């Protein structure tokens, strides 16, 4: 029975991206929403890196020599960064100009769409691992599985808001479906294979970490810094911190 609950929870975790997306569709001022959601995603992704991925990687690498852990970490973090850098060339060009003329507003919107696409790709990989975790925990303890799912949902709602506010939904339906179902894919992998060995999970997690670092440092940080004096940016950061506190408390 817990297998069914595990599948349901991973589906629910993915659906919370759509809840965030629905919130973004209800807001008319897309420029203000973009500034708010980018700064919110900036805080949430930093939270994912330092409070989720790094502890998870450390736990998965237990039993491996420290020197080998360092080599694995550096190698696959760089691989994650490189993978997104390569994808950069296949995603429409973007710029960082933010003046008020029509051309530069259009370039800014193009850059925000670019961030949204990269975020979908990275989070889909991350969510497969979260799906594995939710399923594995739920099989042993349903209550713990529910709490993990709720914690994931708190991350996914604001990330869904950022993604949906920054991309063309009609042109990116397949990517949105991939993102929404990625946690479910993780649970299916767990049921089919009985999970993955710790080393492989660690490698996937490190690659994901590299991807998210690329997004935070090369994309989101620039947007947050340029718009740091805007009210919606400050509200986005504050909201992200509140969500972070709630997720830690859970």
185-201 pLDDT, tens per residue?
999 998 998 767 889 88
Contacts 24+ apart (CB under 8 A), 82-88: 82/210, 83/207, 83/210, 83/211, 84/118, 84/121, 84/122, 84/210, 84/211, 84/214, 84/215, 85/214, 87/118, 87/121, 88/118
Contacts 24+ apart (CB under 8 A), 53-60: 53/126, 53/205, 53/208, 53/209, 53/212, 54/209, 56/129, 56/205, 57/202, 57/205, 57/206, 57/209, 60/198, 60/199, 60/201, 60/202, 60/205
- Say whether pLDDT at 19 is over 60: yes
pLDDT score at 61: 95
Q: Which residue has the higher pLDDT, 100 or 192?
A: 192
- Of 111-120, 176-185, 216-225, the poorest mean pLDDT is in 111-120
User: For residues 214 and 77, is the Cβ–Cβ distance under 8 A?
Assistant: no
Mean of pLDDT over the chain: 84
How confident is the model over 231-243, as a mean pLDDT? 92
- From CA 233, how far away is CA 92, in angstroms rounded? 25
- From CA 240, how far away is CA 35, in angstroms rounded? 13
pLDDT score at 166: 76
pLDDT score at 205: 87
Most confident segment among 26-30, 103-107, 218-222, 233-237? 233-237
Residue 23 makes CB contacts below 8 A (sequence gap 6+) with 157, 160, 161
Give percent of the chain with pLDDT exceeding 70: 89
Contacts 24+ apart (CB under 8 A), 218-223: 219/111, 219/114, 219/115, 219/118, 220/38, 220/41, 220/42, 220/45, 220/115, 221/42, 222/96, 223/35, 223/38, 223/39, 223/42, 223/111, 223/112, 223/115
Band of residue 5 on the pLDDT scale cut at 50, 70, 90? very high
CA 3 from centroid of its chain's CA atoms: 25
pTM of the model: 0.75
pLDDT score at 107: 59
- Say whether pLDDT at 102 is over 60: no
Q: Which residue has the higher pLDDT, 91 or 122?
A: 122
- From CA 76, how far away is CA 28, in angstroms rounded? 41
Whole-angstrom CA distances from 155 to 14, 19, 58, 66 are 11, 12, 21, 31
pLDDT score at 93: 46
- From CA 90, how far away is CA 102, in angstroms rounded? 25
Band of residue 68 on the pLDDT scale cut at 50, 70, 90? very high
pLDDT score at 99: 46
The b/e string for 73-102 (b: 16+ C-beta within 10 A; e otherwise) is beebbeebbebbeeebeeeeebeeeeeeee
């Amino acid at each position: 029975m817990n297998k069914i609950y595990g599948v349901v929870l991973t589906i629910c975790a993915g659906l919370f991206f759509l809840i965030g997306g629905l919130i973004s569709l209800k807001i008319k001022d897309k420029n203000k929403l973009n500034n708010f959601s980018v700064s919110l995603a900036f805080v949430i992704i930093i939270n994912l890196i330092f409070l989720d991925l790094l502890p998870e990687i450390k736990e998965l690498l237990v039993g491996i020599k420290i020197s080998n852990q360092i080599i694995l970490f550096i190698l696959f973090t760089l691989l994650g960064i490189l993978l997104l850098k390569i994808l950069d060339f296949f995603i429409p060009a973007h710029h960082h100009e933010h003046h008020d003329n029509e051309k530069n507003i259009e370039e800014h919107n193009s850059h925000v769409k670019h961030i949204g696409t990269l975020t979908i790709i990275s989070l889909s990989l991350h969510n497969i691992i979260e799906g594995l975790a939710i399923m594995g925990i739920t099989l042993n303890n349903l209550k713990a599985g529910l709490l993990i799912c709720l914690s994931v949902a708190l991350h996914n709602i604001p990330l869904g808001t950022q993604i949906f506010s920054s991309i063309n939904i009609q042109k990116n339906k397949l990517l949105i479906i991939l993102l929404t179902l990625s946690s479910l894919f993780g649970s299916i992998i767990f049921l089919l294979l009985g999970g993955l060995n710790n080393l492989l999970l660690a490698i996937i997690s490190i690659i994901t970490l590299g991807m998210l670092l690329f997004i935070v440092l090369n994309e989101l940080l620039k947007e947050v810094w340029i718009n740091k004096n805007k009210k919606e940016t400050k509200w986005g950061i504050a909201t992200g911190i509140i969500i972070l506190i709630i997720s830690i408390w859970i």
